[in-house]
Amino acid sequence: MFWGSAVFAESVSSRPNVVILYADDMGYGDLAANNPNSKIPTPNLDKLAAEGMRFTDGHSSSGICTPSRFALLTGQYHWRRMHGIAQSFGQPVFKEDDFTIAKLFQKEGYNTAAIGKWHLGWDWQSVVQSEAGIQKVPWPRPDGRVLTRKAYTPAAIDWTRPIPGGPLDQGFDYYFGDGTINFPPYCYIENDRVVDAPTVMMDVETFRPIREGDWEFRPGPMVEGWDPYEVLPTITDKAVEWIGKQSADTPFFMYFAFPSPHAPIIPNDEFLGKSKAGAYGDFIVETDAIAGRIIQALKDHGLDQNTIVVFTADNGAEHYAFAREQKFDHWSSEPFRGLKRDLWEGGHRVPTVISWPGVIDAGSVSDEVISQVDLAATFASILDRKLQTTEAVDSFDLLPLLKGQAYNKPLREGTVQNTREASFALRLGDWVLIDAPSGQHTKTPDWYNEQQGYSRDQTPGLLYNLKEDPSQEHNLFQEHPERVMSMKALLKRYLDGEASAPHAISE
């Protein structure tokens, strides 16, 4: 389960800084440290892994964006609240009294910041000034069709007013970002106000050519002259600037949410051709470079030795990965089956690295099953803050693992995976039960199934031993009926409302 050991350094502060670097739609096999066959160089993230602990079995809660972000920040599975994403001008997914890790750090005296993609909703309805500004507009689709979609126009919103319900209401002292790169409004938001008010409707024709996925842009209000290629560099500058304002006297927490490598695929010119996996690979090279800039900023200000850095992603790679496999011989989920939205491992098993100088032994590798919901209990443990039974109800404390303690049994009893409302998977040790006839949501091409030797299973559910069959090729559902029954029973308990974390289970 664990290789490497670490002795907790008494000199290390009990109030370390924390930086979470959260990639968007990046597959497990896109990180070179995970995949010797990767066609994408990721030197900065590989170095982070070499200096800390790399997890081979780390998971997001969902196979899509908003739910995974909610789960990471709250320490509870997303399906206890939602399944889908926050749409353009969607309402907040949080309740007023929700626990978040940002609130945890804020109450402990930390400076807190969220920079980059939010995609968890704002209370836009409170700043709507004209319902007449909601119009039906054309929305071109990748198959050539042009659909009609309801959209806000610039006249619909009072851009001078603060926008409630965003990061500042969830424990962050500071926010800067564009919300979501392919959703309106196309403008920067700082704290709870737009920096410049949108005055025109989004028009892809005004952008520099999009490398891949231009149809991803939803129609809506935009600042005139908006350039999506500038979003990643701009939010990085803000992150570096914010780090430069911190001091060793006051600890800080920064949640940096990349808009990359999510489509639209828009690597800047200096990164073109830097990978052997096309524009997507180049976009990951840029993502890696950005991570390197942020890590370097910590070092430049003498903050790196007392800072925990977490790198992970919200879900697996988008369906474009099939064409990339065919053209470039690069599989984003290597060695796993599935992509974004899927219950297969590739939908939610994601790159996961944690670095903490003086505590985590450099070059550690763990195959313990962990989930992003576990960060909440881990941070609470580091701060010696006892969680209430209603807080972070699915979060397990990873601190002993980070310190090098070995386990003779799995750390988590069970881990639930979900994307669609009616389909769930339960991980229990080496075994995973998919309580559905297929783990697929993303349409898999016939050529890929033939290439991999995958056949369509004719059973109501799927059972795999991931230790022996990590690519989920051999369905053992019929061979182990008792195991299926016991796993289904445990899954039902969770879905019926039972908390999974030890601190949240009533005695």
SS in 3 state form for 149-216?
A: EEEECHHHECCCCCCCCCHHHHCCCEEEEEECCCCCCECCEECCEECCCCCEECCHHHCCCCCECHHH
Q: Which residues of the chain have pLDDT under 50?
A: 1-11, 507
The pLDDT value given to residue 506? 58
Q: Which two tokens stand for residue 125?
A: 């309805």
The CATH 3.30.1120.10 portion of the chain extends over 416-504
DSSP-H helix ranges across 363-496: 374-382, 399-402, 446-452, 481-495
167: tokens are 């990061």
Report which residue type is found at 462: L
CA dihedral 122, 126, 128, 131 (to 10 degrees): 110
Q: Which fold has domain 16-409?
A: Alkaline Phosphatase, subunit A (3.40.720)
Percent helix, strand and coil across the chain, each to the nearest 5 = 30, 20, 50
Q: Which residues contact 402 (CB under 8 A, 6 or more apart)?
A: 6, 53, 354, 356, 359, 360, 378
First to last CA, the chain: 29
Q: What is the pLDDT of residues 100-122, one digit of tens each?
A: 999 999 999 999 999 999 999 99
Which long-range contacts does 407-411 make (Cβ < 8 Å, 24+ apart)? 407/1, 407/2, 407/368, 410/1, 410/368, 410/369, 411/368, 411/369, 411/370
CATH code for residues 416-504: 3.30.1120.10
Give the per-residue pLDDT at 12.
54
What ranges in 301-395 are assigned the alpha helix state H? 321-328, 345-348, 374-382
d(CA 395, CA 58): 13
Three-state DSSP class for 283? helix
From CA 236, how far away is CA 240, in angstroms rounded?
6
Q: Which long-range contacts (CB under 8 A, 24 or more apart) does 222-227 make?
A: 222/184, 222/185, 222/186, 222/187, 222/198, 223/186, 223/187, 223/196, 223/197, 223/198, 223/199, 224/199, 224/200, 226/186, 226/187, 226/202
Cβ atoms of residues 280 and 265 within 8 Å: yes
> How distant, in Å, are the alpha carbons of 21, 39, 196, 393, 457 from that of 110?
18, 39, 29, 23, 51
* Backbone region of residue 75 per phi and psi (left: phi > 0; alpha: psi in -120 to 50; beta: other values): left
* The predicted structure's pLDDT at residue 507: 47
25 Rama class: left (phi>0) / alpha (psi -120 to 50) / beta: left
* Bridge partners of residue 117, in order along the sequence: 179
Structure tokens at 406: 């070995």
Task: Identify any residues that bridge with 137 across adjacent strands, giving them in sequence order.
Answer: 149
Task: Indicate the burial class of 134 (C-beta count within 10 angstroms; 0-12, 13-18, 19 or more).
Answer: middle
Distance CA 30, CA 290 (A): 16
- Please name the residues in contact with 69: beta carbons below 8 A apart, sequence gap of 6 or more: 22, 119, 120, 257, 314
Please give the backbone phi and psi of residue 255, each rounded to the nearest 5 degrees, phi first.
-105, 105
Cβ–Cβ < 8 Å for 200, 187:
no
The segment(s) of the chain belonging to CATH 3.40.720.10 are: 16-409
Which residues, in sequence order, are CB contacts of 79 under 8 Å at separation 6+?
A: 61, 62, 67, 416, 418, 421, 424, 495
